[in-house]
Amino acid sequence: MPYTFIDVGWWMSLSLPFPTAGPAPQYARETSWKLLAGKDPRMLLTKLEDIGKFVARIVADPRTLNRAVIVWEDQKTLGEAHEIGVRASGEEEELR
């Protein structure tokens, strides 16, 4: 049976360690620091709204038959994602 395994990387919308719409709740602040302590591996990120387009192109391409394919749009470390979230939240002083 023919197959194609598709990995789309982590969703960009889930890569921030806390919500950015309004003040971050205390539990999110604490969790974000616990997750980030000394973590520098890069994450492969993809926008959720682009996944369907990528999947359609991959499935239509005969070179992907019986293979595994990974798609991503950007790479960030957990520390970089945290900095983006801090700036976007407007709570830079409180979260540092």
Distance CA 29, CA 72 (A): 27
Number of neighbouring beta carbons within 10 Å of residue 80: 15
Phi, psi of 41 (to 5 degrees): -70, 150
Q: Find all residues with CB under 8 Å of 34, minimum gap 6, and list them.
A: none
pLDDT of residue 77: 84
pLDDT of residue 59: 94
pLDDT of residue 19: 47
Summarize the confidence of residues 29-40 as an average pLDDT. Answer: 57
pTM for this prediction: 0.62
Distance CA 95, CA 43 (A): 22
| 87 pLDDT more than 90 | no
Task: Enter the DSSP assignment of 34.
Answer: H
| 22 pLDDT more than 60 | no
